[in-house]
Chains A and B, each alone.
Chain A
Amino acid sequence: EPEVTQTPSHQVTQMGQEVILRCVPISNHLYFYWYRQILGQKVEFLVSFYNNEISEKSEIFDDQFSVERPDGSNFTLKIRSTKLEDSAMYFCASRTDSMNTEAFFGQGTRLTVV
Chain B
Amino acid sequence: GEDVEQSLFLSVREGDSSVINCTYTDSSSTYLYWYKQEPGAGLQLLTYIFSNMDMKQDQRLTVLLNKKDKHLSLRIADTQTGDSAIYFCAESIRAAGNKLTFGGGTRVLVKP
Contact = CB atoms under 8 A, between A and B. Distances in A.
A12 interface: no
Interface stretch (B15-23, B41-49, B68-76): B41-49
Contacts of B98: 31, 95, 98-100, 103
A67 B79 CA distance: 41
B42 A48 contact: no
B interface, size bucket? 20 to 34
B97 interface: yes
Contact of B99 (A56, A91, A102): A56
Contact of A48 (B94, B99, B101): B99
Interface in A90-114: 91, 93, 95, 98-108
Counting chain A CB atoms within 10 Å of each CB, the highest count among B50, B90, B96, B100 belongs to B100
Nearest to B96: A56
A42 B103 contact: yes
A98 B99 CA distance: 9
B48 A101 contact: yes
A12 B109 CA distance: 30
Contact of A42 (B42, B43, B102): B102
A105 B42 contact: yes
Contacts, number: 57
Contacts of B103: 42
> For chain A, what secondary structure do more than half of its interface residues adopt (helix, strand, loop), or is it mixed?
strand
A41 interface: yes
A105 B97 contact: no
A65 interface: no
Contacts of A98: 94, 97-98
Nearest to B49: A101
Contacts of B97: 31, 48, 55-56, 98
Interface of A: 31, 33, 35, 41-45, 48, 55-56, 91, 93, 95, 98-108
Given A42-B105, A107-B41, 6 more contacts: A31-B97, A45-B99, A95-B98, A99-B94, A101-B50, A106-B42
